[in-house]
Every structure is written in C-alpha cells, then in structure tokens.
Amino acid sequence: MSAAANGAMLAVEDVTTAYGAIVALRGVSLTVGHGEIVTLIGANGAGKSTLMMTICGSPAPREGRVVLEGRDITGWPTHLIMRQGLAHAPEGRRIFPRMTVLENLRMGAEVLNGAHFDQDLEKVCALFPRLKERLGQRGGTLSGGEQQMLAIARALMSRPRLLLLDEPSLGLAPMVVRQIFAAIRDLNRETGLTVLLVEQNAYHALRLAHRGYVLVNGRITMTGTGAELLARPEVRAAYLEGGRA
Amino acid sequence: MSGAAPRGMAAIVRDAGLAALIALGVGAPLLGLRTEPVGRGLTLIPRPGLLLSVVAAVFVGRILVGLFMAQRALRRRVISPAPRAMLAPPGFRSWLGRAAGPAMLAFALLLPFMPGIGRYEIDLGTLVLTYVMLGWGLNIVVGLAGLLDLGYVAFYAVGAYSYALLAKHLEIGFWAALPLTGLCSAVWGIILGFPVLRLRGDYLAIVTLAFGEIIRIVLLNWVGLTGGPNGMSGIPRPSFFGLPFSMAGGEGTFAGFFGLEPSPLHRIIFLYYLILALALVTNFVTIRLRRHPIGRAWEALREDEVASRALGLSVVAVKLTAFATGALFGGFAGAFFATRQGFISPESFTFIESALILAIVVLGGMGSQIGVATAAVVMIGGFELFRDLEQFRMLVFGLAMVAIMVWRPRGLVSSREPSVALGARKMVGAEHVAEGRG
Ligand SMILES: Nc1ncnc2c1ncn2[C@@H]1O[C@H](COP(=O)(O)OP(=O)(O)OP(=O)(O)O)[C@@H](O)[C@H]1O
Ligand SMILES: [Mg+2]
C-alpha cells in the first residue's frame, strides 16, 4: 500500500470519516496517479463530497491516512493542506456572490500571495472566454454555468497540481456540461493537471476519466478504467439507467 | 417627473393620503393627547396643532418619496433595454456617489468656522463623529467580515477605562496612552474571538452580547479599580501636543503660545478635530485594508466560509484579525470619549450603545463607508432633533428604521466598490445585486 502511496499523486488509505455518530466513509482507499483523471461516482449521500473534504482536512479522518505526493497530510489544518498544490472546487460552486469575477479569481490566487496573477488570469480567461467578458461583474449575477466556470477558474488560480472537482455539472444544460468537461480534458492533456472528479453524470464522467471508483454507502465497491466501468451491468443499472443524460 | 405625472401622480397622492390617515390614527392617541397630573388624577389635554402638523408632514413627505421613487423607476425603465451584461450607465447616481465623500469631508473640516456655529453645534458634531468612528470600527467586523457583534460597546468601554487608568495612575499623556488603549482593546478583541471562532450568525450574536454585558458588569463591580457605579472622574483632558487649554492664558498654554484670547471654545474645537482625525484614520485604514489580502479575506469569509477555507485561508486568523482591528478602533474611540468627558461610568456602556452602533452600520448599508457616516449623521442628528419629543423619539426611530429596511433592504448605500480592478475601472452590476433581497 505504501508503495502505491509513494508513487501516486494522491493516496487515500483506509479512511474512515464520521460526523458525530454518522459514519460517512468506512475504510475507503483510492489512488490518483500523476496526470490522471479519476472519477468517483455514487448515489446521493454515498459520501463523495465527504471524501473530497476529508482529503482537504475538514473534517479530518477518524482513521486512515491521506498522502499527497508522498507526504502524509493526515490531520493537517485545512489552510495548510490547501497550500500544497491541491485545489478544491467545492460542491455547489460557492463563489463569492458580492465580489466581482476578478476579485473571486484574486481570492483563488491568495495562496500564491498574488505572484504571477496577471499571467494566470490570462490563462483562465483563454480557457473560459465567457469569464473574460465579465471580469467586473458580481459573481452572484453570473448564470449557473458561468458560476461553475468561475469556480473552476478560481481553483486553477492557485496553480494546483491536483484539482478536486465536486459535481461541476450540477444544474447545467448539457451543452455547458460538454464545454466544462472539454475544458477539464484540455487542461489535463495540455498541462498534465491531475483531476479527481466527483460526478452524478456518470456517463460523461466515465467517458472522460482514465479510471473510476464507485462509492456505495461510504465504501468503494468497484474500480476500473472508465470503459470497464461503463460496460459493467451493475454500473449501467444503478447509474446509467434511463439514458445517457 | 412630469413624464410620470398623469397616472402616477394620482396614485402617489392616494398613497400619501393613506399614510397620513395611518399617521392620524397612530398619532391621535400618542401625540394628540397629553396627560397632565391634576390633583390626584390625570386629565387629558388635546394637542390638535401638533397632531395636524405631524400628519401634514407625513403627507408631504410621502408625496416627495413617491415622486422620488417614480422618477427612479422611470430612469430604470429607460436603462433596462440596454444590454444587461456590463456597464451600468455612469449617470447622476454615480456622480453623486463620487462627490458625496469629498463634500461631507469638506463640510466636516469647515464646520467649526461656519457662521452660526456655536459651542452646541460643535459638541453635537463631535458626538456624531464619535459614532461615525464607532460605526466604521464595527463595520470592519460586521460589514466586512460578516461577524454579527452585539457587544461592540465592550471595546469602547475597555478603551475608555484603560485610558482613564493609564492617565490617572501612571500619568501617561493622551498621545502616549492612545496606542496602549488601542492595543488593550485589540487584545480583548482576540480574547473574545477565540471562544466564538466556531460560532456563526445568531449564536455568535448571543455570545458577543453576553461578552459586552460581562465587561460592563465587571466594570460595575470591580470597585477598587474602576470606582464601580460611581465611575472615574478627573480624567486628564488632552493637551495640544503638550500645551494645555487653560482659561488663565499665559506662557505655557495653548492660547498663550498662539497669542490668542483664552476661550473655552479652543478645547471644544480641538476635540472636534481630534475625533475627526481619529475617524479619518479609521476610514483610511479600512479602505487600505480592503485592497489588502487581509481585507479581501474578511470579505471572502463573509461571503462563504467553506469556500474561503477551500482557498487556503486560515479562518482562525481571518476572524481574529477582524475582531482585533474592529476592537482597536473601538478602543481609540473609547479613549477619546474618556478624555472628552473627563468622567466615565459603566452607564455609558450599556447594550443600547452596541445596538445603536449596529443600527448605524446596518442602516448605512453594511460595508459602505459613506453609508455608515450618513447613517450616523441621520441617527445621532435625528436623536438631537427629536429631543423635545422625549418619549416619542424611540418610536420615531423605530419607525424610521422599519421604513429604511423596507425601502432599502440593503441599507442607505448599497453598492459595493470592487477592491480589485483592472486598469480602466468598469462600474458594473451593482444595480442588479443592490436591490435583491437576501
Ligand atoms: N456536516 C454534516 N453533518 C452530518 N452529516 C453529514 C454532514 N455532511 C454530510 N453528512 C452525511 O454524510 C453522508 C455523506 O454525505 P456526502 O455529502 O458526502 O454525500 P455525497 O455522496 O456527496 O452526496 P451528493 O451526491 O448528494 O452530493 C450523508 O448521509 C450525509 O447526510
Ligand atoms: Mg456531494
């Protein structure tokens, strides 16, 4: 297990996380290799968001270890973990509504103390041209899709090596979902960004990802390449029934 | 205005009539009758004059408000077909916004030398400025960092008492004591901050409220140190950088040094400028900090704590600096209060003071510097204006507050200047956010 931990971008080892008496994760292990897109699928309440937040240290795991680029970060305070080349675009976008798009991006770059801000701003504007036109607009007045682009762009402003994306397709039109997934793929191909992606939209996520994990009631029940999981009847029955939306 | 006239006007008059009717109904028992003790009983003395003038004022006022709103709605309509996305037209309002600050500052600077301004007016100005400063200080905590603090008066009290103690027992002069009192308050801000780190919203409000009361009760009961309910008197008055204000005049005094006729006004004017300077420092620091990572972090925390943490902010540090900075300025204001009054007692630091300062911040439009200043002028000035009405002024006050919250749910000045802008400033979007509720 530790062999995997040393080579991987991220290794989660036997992690158990609980909110008081409610145990949300039970002995979860997963690895994300350098330059991989890994997706985590599962029903509502399976513990996907909890796993992402546990990686970020809030809540801290009750048992197990989280190893980032060979360094054990279990129990570290969140604000230090977030300075280790890891960025998290949390579920529900959570942009700062009364601050402008530019200020939101500025907040994303805060861990770098504003170093190479202008350069990075250009990069995210090239990735999401819609944002470029709206730099002075308040975050709260953006459309849902634009807000999601902003959430991803804001996370990218800290120059992460590993990006955690929690349901980026939430509430978006299929067209916008495709745009966002295309942006993730481009980032991964062009810059080698490693991505851990949580998705309800299992079809798209598994097509995009190199590998995937299925989380059920706080346990990993299946793992494999995207194509393998897509072909599994259990996966099809549970997550793809009723079409490919 | 004439454009909105034909149909609009009738509606406005009808609306004003309704408001006047309500004023009549509410006012008849409250204003129209006065009880007078006669012998053993009470008699009712009717006051139709007062009642009618208030009703008339409500009627006229409501018409004016109606016209104003109609005009604004008209302007909206003209604007709205334009592309919604980016540029709000830099019209009259933004011009007004830009001019308001400098105009208020010029007025404040010149006030003591304006014709018809006497001791009373300068004293009132000093009082208003004290609340402007307190409002700006609390604005850091509530408006910027979004931490609802109902016990802000505690820091005002800590500042006042620590100045009084330093000045009386250690004979430290005002200027040397000032940073110490600020430091002392800031430390108390941090002490309050620690236990409430994990609290939010209502729970935070309750704990800060209790904190304010604890400080007051300690001041009340620690008789040996603070004089308890008798307070502390004989607090040294400030000198003009070492030159005392003395009625005797002569060599070492302010009047003597500048060759002026000794006058009690000198000290009053000096105190006025002192609080003006302290308030401006508060404002300046706040404006600078807003453009600084710390200030942005406060605002981010207010907007979304989870996202702030996800972006690597230390929520502990952000909250504590907000509490400490707010407390620092509260402490400065307290020291000023002590040196101005020469006497302090726990009575000056009751919950109602915290509520008043919070009301100023909320009415002013949380986070807006100019809004807070305006609200302080309106509220403290209003208090003075309605002094004759005594028991009604709280009522007038409550009504005014309800009215403002209904008409302008985000406070008097609801737009927020971005703290980061690209070269050419683009004024954007405020219109759309400003009027939303939530
Ligand atoms: N702060 C919390 N306090 C208590 N229980 C929580 C908390 N957050 C999550 N839970 C519980 O933990 C379990 C896992 O929640 P989690 O948010 O991780 O699910 P999820 O897989 O992300 O679901 P979804 O797809 O709906 O976002 C749920 O049963 C949830 O009720
Ligand atoms: Mg979730």
The ipTM estimated for the assembled molecules is 0.88
* CA neighbours closer than 13 Å in the CB half-sphere of residue B63: 12
Domain-by-domain residue ranges, chain B?
Answer: 5-78, 96-240+266-407
At B75 the pLDDT is 56
Q: Does pLDDT of A50 surpass 50?
A: yes
Span B110-118, mean pLDDT?
83
Residue A177 lies in a domain: no
Q: Does pLDDT of B274 surpass 70?
A: yes
* Residues A80, A10 share a domain: yes
Tens digit of pLDDT for each residue in B59-78? Answer: 877 777 777 777 666 655 44
Q: Encode chain B in three state secondary structure.
A: CHHHHHHHHHHHHHHHHHHHHHHHHHHHHHCCEEEEEECCEEEEEECHHHHHHHHHHHHHHHHHHHHHHHHHHHHHHHHCCCCCCCECCCCHHHHHHHHHHHHHHHHHHHHHHCCCCCHHHHHHHHHHHHHHHHHHHHHHHHHHCCCCCCCCHHHHHHHHHHHHHHHHHCCCCHHHHHHHHHHHHHHHHHHHHCCCCCCCHHHHHHHHHHHHHHHHHHHHHCHHHHCHHHCECCCCCCCECCECCCCCCCCCCHHHHHCCCCCHHHHHHHHHHHHHHHHHHHHHHHHHHHCCHHHHHHHHHHHCHHHHHHCCCCHHHHHHHHHHHHHHHHHHHHHHHHHHHCCECHHHHCHHHHHHHHHHHHHHCCCCHHHHHHHHHHHHHHHHHCHHHHHHHHHHHHHHHHHHHHHCCCCCCCCCCCCCCCCCCCCECHHHHHCCCC
Task: Please tell me the distance from the alpha carbon of residue B357 to that of residue B131, in angstroms, as a whole number.
Answer: 7
At B4 the pLDDT is 39
Q: How many domains does chain A divide into?
A: 2
Span B323-336, mean pLDDT?
96
Q: Is the CB of B429 less than 8 angstroms away from the CB of A154?
A: no
Decide: A50 in ligand 1 pocket, CB within 6 A: yes
* Residues A239, A165 share a domain: yes
At A187 the pLDDT is 92
At B328 the pLDDT is 96
* Residues A123, A229 share a domain: no
pLDDT band at A113 (very low <50, low <70, confident <90, very high): confident
Q: Tell me, what CATH number does A72's domain have?
A: 3.40.50.300
Residue of A nearest to B414 (CA): A98
Query: Of A160, A179, A211, which residue sits at a domain end?
Result: A160
B21-35, B154-168, B367-381: the lowest-pLDDT one: B21-35
Residue of B nearest to A159 (CA): B311
| Partner residue opposite A90 with nearest CB, options B293, B310, B436 | B310
Task: Please tell me the distance from the alpha carbon of residue B90 to that of residue B94, in angstroms, as a whole number.
Answer: 6
* Residues A54, A127 share a domain: no
Two structure tokens written together for B353: 């003071």
Average pLDDT, chain B: 80
* Residues A72, A37 share a domain: yes
| Partner residue opposite A138 with nearest CB, options B297, B314, B433 | B433
Architecture per CATH, domain B96-240+266-407, reads as Orthogonal Bundle (1.10)
Residue A181 lies in a domain: no
Q: Does pLDDT of B81 surpass 50?
A: no
* Residues A107, A64 share a domain: no
**pTM greater than the 0.80 cutoff:** no
If one residue of A12, A15, A17, A19 were mutated to test the ligand 1 pocket, choosing by the most ligand atoms within 8 A of its CB, it would be: A19
Task: Tell me the residue range of the domain where A109 lies.
Answer: 92-160
Tens digit of pLDDT for each residue in B26-50? Answer: 777 777 777 777 777 777 777 777 7
Q: Does pLDDT of B399 surpass 50?
A: yes
Please give the distance, rounded to the nearest whole angstrom, from the Cα atom of residue A46 to the centre of ligand 2.
8
Q: Would you tell me how many other CB atoms lie within 10 Å of the CB of residue A50?
A: 23
Q: Which atom of ligand 1 is nearest to the CA of A51?
A: 18
Task: Please tell me the distance from the alpha carbon of residue B288 to that of residue B58, in angstroms, as a whole number.
Answer: 42
* Residues A166, A57 share a domain: yes
Q: Provide, as residue numbers in chain B, all residues whose Cβ is less than 8 Å from the Cβ of A58.
A: 309
* Residues A52, A121 share a domain: no
pLDDT band at A11 (very low <50, low <70, confident <90, very high): very high
Tens digit of pLDDT for each residue in A197-241? Answer: 999 888 889 999 999 999 999 999 999 999 999 999 988 888 876
Residue A35 lies in a domain: yes
Residue A138 lies in a domain: yes
Residue A61 lies in a domain: yes
Q: Does pLDDT of B434 surpass 60?
A: no
Nearest to A150, CA basis, from A85, A100, A101: A101
Span B294-312, mean pLDDT?
92
* Residues A165, A62 share a domain: yes
Residue A242 lies in a domain: yes
Average pLDDT, chain A: 91
Q: Does pLDDT of A109 surpass 80?
A: yes
Residue of A nearest to B300 (CA): A96
Q: Which atom of ligand 1 is nearest to the CA of A59?
A: 1
Q: Which atom of ligand 1 is nearest to the CA of A91?
A: 27
At B435 the pLDDT is 37
At A2 the pLDDT is 52
Please give the distance, rounded to the nearest whole angstrom, from the Cα atom of residue A71 to the centre of ligand 1.
27
Distances (CA, A) of A52 to A47, A48, A202: 9, 7, 17
